[in-house]
Chain A
Amino acid sequence: MNTTYLYLLVFAILVGSTDIEVNIVALYPSASTGVAMLFGTIALSYGVIVSILLGLAGMKALLIALFYQHLKYEPRSLSSWVLIGLVIASLLMSLVFIQLHVH
């Protein structure tokens, strides 16, 4: 595929998923949406929506990294190197999450 078309296609997906993001918000339960419930058990649908939003964001980020930053075409060593930062950041977040939620 011509790279320009590829870039346009990626762009279309990025914009499309942003559109999904803003529209999904309408599906929030109209009840209280306090964040105390963010990961709690009560407002499941809130949690589901948050997961979808974060998932979409992750997908968009991945698309940008793979195609616009052309990590897809770089040597495996470089993409693994980039991943290290992400892994360390997620370790930080997960351990803090455990502190906040598991006693």
Chain B
Amino acid sequence: MSQDILPPRIRRWLFTTNHKEVGILYLVTALFFFVAAGLLALTMRTQLSVPDNHVLTETLYNQFVTVHGLLMIFWVLSPFAFGFANYIIPLQIGARDLAFPRLNAMSYWFYLFSGVAIIMSFIFGAPDLGWTLYSPQTAIQFSPSIGLNVGAAALILITVSITMSSVNFLVTMFKMRAPGMKLRHMPVFPWAILVTIFMMLYAFPSFLAAVLLLYVDRAFGTFYFSSIQGGALLWDNVFWFFGHPEVYIVLFPAIGLIADVIPTFTRRPLYGAKYVIGSMIAAAIISFIVWGHHMFVTGIGLTSTKLYTVTTIAVSLPFDVMVIAMIETLIKARIKLKAAALFALGAIALFVIGGITGVYLASVALDHALRGTYFVVAHFHYIMVGGSIMGLIAGLYYWFPKFTGRMYNETVAKIHFVVSFIGFNILYFPMFLLLDMPRRIQTYAPDTGWGSLNSLATLGGFIFGGAQVLLFLNLFLSQRKGLPSGPNPWDGWTLEWSLPSPPPAHDFDTIPTIAEDGTYHFGDSPGLPNGAGYPNGSKIGNGYSHSHLEGLSAWPIVVAFAAFIFFLGLTIGQPNNPTTPVTFQPFWPLIADGAILGVIALYGYSRERFSVHEETRTESWPFREVPNVKLGIWTFLGAEVIFFGVLIGAYFFVRTNSPTWPEIGSLFDIRNGFAMTLVLLTSSLTAIMALVSAKIGSRNGLISSLLATFGLGVAFLYIKSTEWVYLGTHGVFSVASGLPATSYFITTGTHGVHVFAGMLMTLYLLVNSLKGRYLKGDHQAIEHFGLYWHFVDIVWVFLFPLFYLI
């Protein structure tokens, strides 16, 4: 694809794969969505300011609440943090970029297009039932608008984006640290991101599965969430299994950032940094077993209720450690109150209030009274806005000089803080007192007595919102006219400050080395503890110039765009007021365009020569012997385990709740399943033989094994489709004829899509091996394909007995 027709400035931003530019793209986009979601919120506050108000209709109010929540959580908080992570983490760990730069660009474009999709959903009637998308309100008969389908597409796209990023960052941080940079020498911010993406990796697949099932329920009329066997409880489980880790996912980056900002401005290392990091890890692990505290009133049983109370209290303990460490660092310290420090301090204070009120909610008795009220709204806004957003704004001021080489106006920034902090408390504190006002209502009667507190909150909302104008003006004007900042205006201790501001395209002239004790030396500064290091006596300057126009790739944006129109095609064809039974009515032209463009783009992507410079002397414990790509694939497969685990779990769930289930062999022919199993097992054998042939350099062996693998894939899908068609045409068993059908079609269908994807990969490998590639030392691609293919085989090894034999 010819990229040269566009002017360089545009090419640089559309096709960049440089982590710093991708970081800036993330930040700017996240701030854009922040404004959009903020405007929705201010409109809602206006509606609520006085009783019996009718600025917004009920429908529109509900749409605003929902999209506001979704935008803030998915399209603002995490991408905001990813912006910093992209820009800063490679600098802080002494790497020149992420492990997979083009994949990183692709993550960004998926994010952007997913955001376009969620905003587009307003055209079709946006989702209007709260960000938690509780079932059964999401069922088509209660929410007929296809805006919800478009919203589902947006959520699927952003999940893809996040999963790609998680894999990318994990590999980068595990494998590409500068020499001497042991994991324990990493600053707290990279640690926080490491823990965050760990949670993302395993939490988001559950969300993906949940949204997928929701989508098929709505598009194909299946029954996961609209039956009593699945229904509300199934949704609660898969959603909150994701949802609770998600609340830490949006919080941890800010904590890590604050933990690096405070030491810089107090001139002392973070007290107990080891314990802070340890607590984050502990909280991340426990976060996967506390989700039931969102289900206390759903009748999950006393044993479960007790269990989740205990785990919830346990998960709050690590947070105490984090807060105590920060307070200890601050005690008797003389802190330089720059804007970043102010925002960090404010964030800690507000987070503490939010956290303590969370403990109230973890009490089953209190929760019965408080759940679904404005008390909860106050609780999580103190954490997500007070803790996360304020913390991230601290990061914005902290790193702005690094990004631009210029200083912002400190006085305006301080005013911004004071007004934000006051506005915030006027906005959210009254909500604690509104503990008898239900959340998500569009208006209320005058005799409820809620009027004055609501007016106060609205006033606070406008103060807080107005304050942000100062932020944007300040940053916008300063990046053009601000005074030069020099490389290290705060005397920061971490590696990014050793570079010029902004750093050159290739970041480091020489990769730094960190001393044995984790200290580093910079200019004439003393060795400083617990941070990344400056190379001993290294000169900072531009030894050689890599241009910002190197390493451009057009494919990431094209792949993302193809996925975008493909998913739009899947969702916008549905009539807006569907008849029951639901019929699948996609918009085929878009689907076809998306599919064709996607295949072309993926082909172009994989053919493009794009070499990533790999340093030889990196610190890579504990995966020293594992190559980057292989680690990436295994990491991705870990996420797939959760995805299929949730699909299989959903099957168990509905099956256990069903009083009867068809007898074995009465629905599907066991022989079909047996045949498919044999076919797939054999294809695993041929896939491994392909690897053996490649390694010994046998071109014919490689080609014939790949051909056989492909053929067996065809055979598998052929048997599967005849079975599907047979079941479909024999009436009793269409996809919408009950839970046995629903779970069977969807689970095996998802698996089938995986088989299909694997076959596309074999085709690609075949084409190249005909040209004589992959032989001897060049066999990695065959091996990596095999890892995926065998995984798909393993999934079937479970699906076969689960669906055909029990």
Pick from B233, B304, B641, B652: contact of A89, CB under 8 Å: B641
Contact B638 A21 (CB under 8 A): no
Pick from A8, A53, A61, A84: contact of B806, CB under 8 Å: A53
Pick from B655, B674, B790, B798: contact of A68, CB under 8 Å: B790
For the complex, what is the distance from the CA of A36 to the CA of B791, rounded to whole Å? 31
Name which of A24, A34, A90 has the most chain B CB atoms within 10 A of its CB.
Answer: A34
Give the Cβ gap from A99 to chain B, nearest Cβ, in Å.
5
Mask, A74-103, CB within 8 Å of B = 1, is 110110011011101111110110111111
Q: Which residue of B lies closest to A39 (CB)?
A: B656
Pick from B645, B677, B800: contact of A92, CB under 8 Å: B645
Known contacts A68-B684, A85-B638; A91 and B289 CB within 8 A of each other? yes
Give the Cβ gap from A72 to chain B, nearest Cβ, in Å.
13
Known contacts A28-B664, A103-B301; A18 and B681 CB within 8 A of each other? yes
A33 at the interface (CB under 8 A from B): yes
For the complex, what is the distance from the CA of A14 to the CA of B688, rounded to whole Å? 14
Mask, A58-82, CB within 8 Å of B = 1, is 0011001100110000110110011
Contact B801 A53 (CB under 8 A): yes
Contact A99 B641 (CB under 8 A): no
Q: Which B residues are in CB contact (< 8 Å) with A49?
A: 806
Known contacts A15-B678, A102-B304; A64 and B638 CB within 8 A of each other? no
Known pairs A60-B797, A61-B798 / 19 extra A-B pairs, C-beta < 8 Å: A7-B685, A7-B688, A15-B681, A21-B801, A24-B805, A38-B655, A49-B806, A53-B801, A54-B801, A57-B801, A68-B684, A68-B793, A77-B626, A78-B626, A85-B640, A92-B206, A99-B300, A102-B301, A103-B301
Q: List 20 A-B contacts (CB under 8 A).
A: A21-B801, A25-B670, A28-B664, A33-B663, A35-B656, A36-B656, A36-B660, A38-B655, A39-B656, A53-B806, A57-B797, A74-B626, A77-B626, A78-B631, A88-B288, A89-B642, A92-B646, A99-B237, A100-B657, A103-B303
Name which of A35, A61, A78, A88 has the most chain B CB atoms within 10 A of its CB.
Answer: A88
Mask, A19-43, CB within 8 Å of B = 1, is 0011011001000011110110000
Interface residues of B in 663-684 (CB under 8 A from A): 663-665, 670, 674, 677-678, 681-682, 684
For the complex, what is the distance from the CA of A85 to the CA of B292, rounded to whole Å? 20
Contact B301 A95 (CB under 8 A): no
5 smallest beta-carbon distances between A and B, as pairs: A89-B645, A85-B638, A85-B641, A77-B622, A103-B301
Q: Which residue of B lies closest to A92 (CB)?
A: B241
Contact A11 B681 (CB under 8 A): yes
Pick from B233, B638, B692: contact of A7, CB under 8 Å: B692
Q: Which residue of A lies closest to B797 (CB)?
A: A60
B537 at the interface (CB under 8 A from A): no
Mask, B626-645, CB within 8 Å of A = 1, is 10000100110111111001
B786 at the interface (CB under 8 A from A): yes
Q: Which A residues are in CB contact (< 8 Å) with B700?
A: none
| Size category of the binding interface on chain A | 35 or more
Pick from A33, A34, A38, A78: contact of B623, CB under 8 Å: A78
**Chain A interface main SS type:** helix
Contact B307 A36 (CB under 8 A): no
Q: Which B residues are in CB contact (< 8 Å) with A21?
A: 800-801, 805
Contact A82 B638 (CB under 8 A): yes
B319 at the interface (CB under 8 A from A): no
Number of A-B contacts (CB under 8 A): 166
For the complex, what is the distance from the CA of A38 to the CA of B659, rounded to whole Å? 11
B540 at the interface (CB under 8 A from A): no
For the complex, what is the distance from the CA of A25 to the CA of B802, rounded to whole Å? 12
**Chain B interface main SS type:** helix
Q: Which B residues are in CB contact (< 8 Å) with A77?
A: 622-623, 626
Known contacts A3-B692, A34-B659; A64 and B303 CB within 8 A of each other? no
Mask, B271-298, CB within 8 Å of A = 1, is 0000000000000000011001000000
Pick from A7, A64, A103: contact of B797, CB under 8 Å: A64
Contact A86 B641 (CB under 8 A): yes
Contact A38 B656 (CB under 8 A): yes
Interface residues of B in 191-212 (CB under 8 A from A): 202, 206
For the complex, what is the distance from the CA of A50 to the CA of B658, rounded to whole Å? 18
For the complex, what is the distance from the CA of A11 to the CA of B683, rounded to whole Å? 10
Give the Cβ gap from A56 to chain B, nearest Cβ, in Å.
7
Contact B678 A75 (CB under 8 A): no
Q: Which A residues are in CB contact (< 8 Å) with B626?
A: 74-75, 77-78
For the complex, what is the distance from the CA of A38 to the CA of B664, rounded to whole Å? 13
B772 at the interface (CB under 8 A from A): no
For the complex, what is the distance from the CA of A33 to the CA of B634, rounded to whole Å? 38
Contact A81 B801 (CB under 8 A): no
Give the Cβ gap from B707 to chain A, nearest Cβ, in Å.
18
For the complex, what is the distance from the CA of A60 to the CA of B678, rounded to whole Å? 13
For the complex, what is the distance from the CA of A99 to the CA of B304, rounded to whole Å? 6
Contact B301 A96 (CB under 8 A): no
Mask, B82-111, CB within 8 Å of A = 1, is 000000000000000000000000000000
Pick from B622, B625, B805: contact of A53, CB under 8 Å: B805
Q: Which residue of A lies closest to B671 (CB)?
A: A22
Q: Which residue of B lies closest to A79 (CB)?
A: B634
For the complex, what is the distance from the CA of A92 to the CA of B678, rounded to whole Å? 30
For the complex, what is the distance from the CA of A33 to the CA of B805, rounded to whole Å? 11
Q: Which residue of A lies closest to B649 (CB)?
A: A93
B661 at the interface (CB under 8 A from A): yes
B302 at the interface (CB under 8 A from A): yes
Name which of A11, A60, A103 has the most chain B CB atoms within 10 A of its CB.
Answer: A60
B767 at the interface (CB under 8 A from A): no
Contact A11 B685 (CB under 8 A): yes
For the complex, what is the distance from the CA of A3 to the CA of B288, rounded to whole Å? 40
Interface residues of B in 735-790 (CB under 8 A from A): 786-787, 790
For the complex, what is the distance from the CA of A49 to the CA of B801, rounded to whole Å? 11
For the complex, what is the distance from the CA of A38 to the CA of B645, rounded to whole Å? 19
For the complex, what is the distance from the CA of A84 to the CA of B692, rounded to whole Å? 29
Q: Which B residues are in CB contact (< 8 Å) with A88?
A: 202, 288, 642
Contact B302 A103 (CB under 8 A): yes
For the complex, what is the distance from the CA of A48 to the CA of B536, rounded to whole Å? 66
Give the Cβ gap from A91 to chain B, nearest Cβ, in Å.
6
B687 at the interface (CB under 8 A from A): yes
Contact A95 B688 (CB under 8 A): no
For the complex, what is the distance from the CA of A38 to the CA of B806, rounded to whole Å? 9
Give the Cβ gap from B709 to chain A, nearest Cβ, in Å.
12
Contact B659 A25 (CB under 8 A): no
Q: Which residue of B lies closest to A62 (CB)?
A: B794
Contact B634 A81 (CB under 8 A): yes
Contact A34 B660 (CB under 8 A): yes
For the complex, what is the distance from the CA of A88 to the CA of B122, rounded to whole Å? 36
For the complex, what is the distance from the CA of A77 to the CA of B631, rounded to whole Å? 11
For the complex, what is the distance from the CA of A30 to the CA of B692, rounded to whole Å? 47
Contact B801 A68 (CB under 8 A): no
Contact B637 A82 (CB under 8 A): yes
Q: Which A residues are in CB contact (< 8 Å) with B687?
A: 68
Q: Which A residues are in CB contact (< 8 Å) with B631?
A: 78
For the complex, what is the distance from the CA of A22 to the CA of B672, rounded to whole Å? 11
For the complex, what is the distance from the CA of A7 to the CA of B690, rounded to whole Å? 12
Contact A75 B625 (CB under 8 A): yes
Q: Which A residues are in CB contact (< 8 Å) with B787?
A: 69
Q: Which B residues are in CB contact (< 8 Å) with A14?
A: 681, 684
Contact B642 A85 (CB under 8 A): yes
Interface residues of B in 222-240 (CB under 8 A from A): 233, 237
Q: Which B residues are in CB contact (< 8 Å) with A24?
A: 805
Known contacts A53-B805, A56-B801, A85-B202; A69 and B790 CB within 8 A of each other? yes
For the complex, what is the distance from the CA of A4 to the CA of B798, rounded to whole Å? 25
For the complex, what is the distance from the CA of A103 to the CA of B301, rounded to whole Å? 5
Q: Which residue of B lies closest to A75 (CB)?
A: B625
Contact A78 B684 (CB under 8 A): no
Name which of B302, B655, B665, B801 has the most chain A CB atoms within 10 A of its CB.
Answer: B801
